[in-house]
Chains A and B, each alone.
Chain A
Amino acid sequence: MRRFLSALIVLGLIMFFISTLPLIPEFGKASLSKVSRAFIDKDVNGNGGNIQYGVSKDLENGAANVVTSIVVDYRSFDTLGEVTVLFTSALGVGIILSGYKRKKFGREPNFILRVSVGILLPLILLFGAYVFIHGHLTPGGGFPGGTIIAAGILLLYLSNEEFDLSKTVKFVEGISGSLYVIVGLLGLAVSGVFLINFLPTGVVGNLFSSGIVPIIYILIGFKVGAELSGIVAELHREG
């Protein structure tokens, strides 16, 4: 009976998707909105001549990494939603595992692990910070950088039984999340649009360029790092 029902549901979904296929326009014949038209008509080389790495200045966005310029500038509001999704999932993990006490093994962690964590942890944290600080210049950004930092925190949890970071994690997470919204509200106050890139964009390829993109990516890096560290802590407690 159950199999029959699930097959029926899958069949219904397939029928639904097939029936919606004719709604998708043919290639090159879509009716575009004003925004899409504006971005398609824009020259790849910029509206006024070529863009050169390290030379061109005061562009619309100014980030050398195209993905970052889209994720944190053009659809920054969506990224705010993404960060909220991550926060909600961390909250869910916390609620599910809230009843467990942290399991103590009563045994000193591995000597090799402790020594190598002392060597590796600074390098891992530095690399994570590099990835999210240079998010507008190189591949990477706040989400991968935060994940790398959370991996370093996991090493700390594994090598030290007494280690606990939950209060700091909550503090950092709240501060960085609200600073993200505050940067957006500053854009609203300055230019009348939420999360607009209101700072000067500078020269392409410099560390201090592309306006609010690096600021927001640093905030996202801290927030994602804190959230994933929180998840790591909760899962570790479940033991």
Chain B
Amino acid sequence: MIILGYIFIGIGAFFYFLGGLGILRMPDVYNRLQAGTKATTLGSFSVILGVGFVNMDYLPKALLIIAFIALTNPVGSSVLARAAYLIGIKPTAKTKVDECKGGDEI
């Protein structure tokens, strides 16, 4: 179980690294937000779950923390992305589809 926990922590660290790389390399704010959010969500899930496996006493608390991250993190990112879109930050030129264009439904 402890080895499984360490494997989970390693996966989480890898996703954190990918998130940092994505924030550095992605072309515009939306892609960066997506990279950062995915990294924090999946990376934090893995690391916290790994800590829960390494020390089984923490497992219920770890699951609770995961639930709260699942509730808050995507909402925060979606609100940030919406605010960025509303003040008129343009997506990068490679973006082909913009479903929000012209509509008020965001």
Contact = CB atoms under 8 A, between A and B. Distances in A.
B72 A120 contact: yes
B78 to A, nearest CB: 5
A154 to B, nearest CB: 12
Contacts of A158: 79
Q: How large is the interface on B (under 10, 10 to 19, 20 to 34, 35 or more residues)?
A: 10 to 19
A116 B82 contact: no
A107 B71 CA distance: 24
B75 interface: yes
Interface string B56-98: 0000000000001001100100110010001000000000000
Interface string A3-37: 00000000000000000000000000000000000
Contacts, number: 21
A40 to B, nearest CB: 36
Contact of A119 (B71, B78, B82, B104): B71
Interface residues of A, number: 9
Contact of B79 (A107, A110, A120): A110
Interface in B6-65: none
B79 A112 contact: yes
Contacts of A116: 71-72, 75
Contacts of A110: 78-79, 82, 106
